[in-house]
Structure 1
């Protein structure tokens, strides 16, 4: 399973594709049933790759911060699902959009700041 943890590229690819599919499904509204199911598949892939990286990250001595990032990722996925489900039921989604954005920014900040993240300045 070293292909999951040798680099972060697979995990980054899965969450970028997941967010793009989520935004498209949210814009399509009720007729996005197939996209919603595809997005759920990507949730599983994001959690598998993120979990593998989380286990690998224990070697860096920052387990608590990686735990917060893992929790933030789960919350982002939860808010994505809440937005789509509540949108299909014609219920207000503004609070979940805001929570999605906040949790996404926190998770991205931790993901890029921690030692396994990408270094854009090098």
Structure 2
């Protein structure tokens, strides 16, 4: 099925770019465009989760604990992205959500790079 990380990395990079674009469009007052991009971001959330789940189920036997932690933290990152967008649209505070998002995003990125299928520049 999914034995390489290319599709997963591509989907989450596009999702983050679209997430930022949706935020910028909303801040610029272009609500209709922001709403369209927000819906596209939601599609990419689904693609990120599907590709991540496929990677998890195909490779969890290598290191089940670390893959499980990455799966849970990755889901939390996706949830935080959506919460930030929704609370921004509703003009509610997002400060704590941003802090959690940055911490968890860095954590999931670090874990992903440490896993056997990750990037090992000094190994």
Correspondence for 1:24 among 15, 21, 26: 21
Q: Is 1:44 paired with 2:37?
A: no
CA RMSD between the two structures: 1.2
Structure 1 residue ranges, 4+ long, deviating more than 4 angstroms after superposition: none
Distance 2:14 2:51 in 1: 13
Equivalenced residue count is: 118
Other structure's SS at 2:61 match: helix
Q: TM-score, normalised by structure 1?
A: 0.92
- Specify every segment of 5 or more residues in structure 1 that has no aligned partner in the other structure, as ranges: none
Contact 2:112 2:118 in 1 (8 A): yes
Other structure's SS at 2:7 match: helix
Q: TM-score, normalised by structure 2?
A: 0.91
Q: Partner of 2:112 in structure 1?
A: 111
Contact 2:60 2:68 in 1 (8 A): no
- Specify every segment of 5 or more residues in structure 2 that has no aligned partner in the other structure, as ranges: none
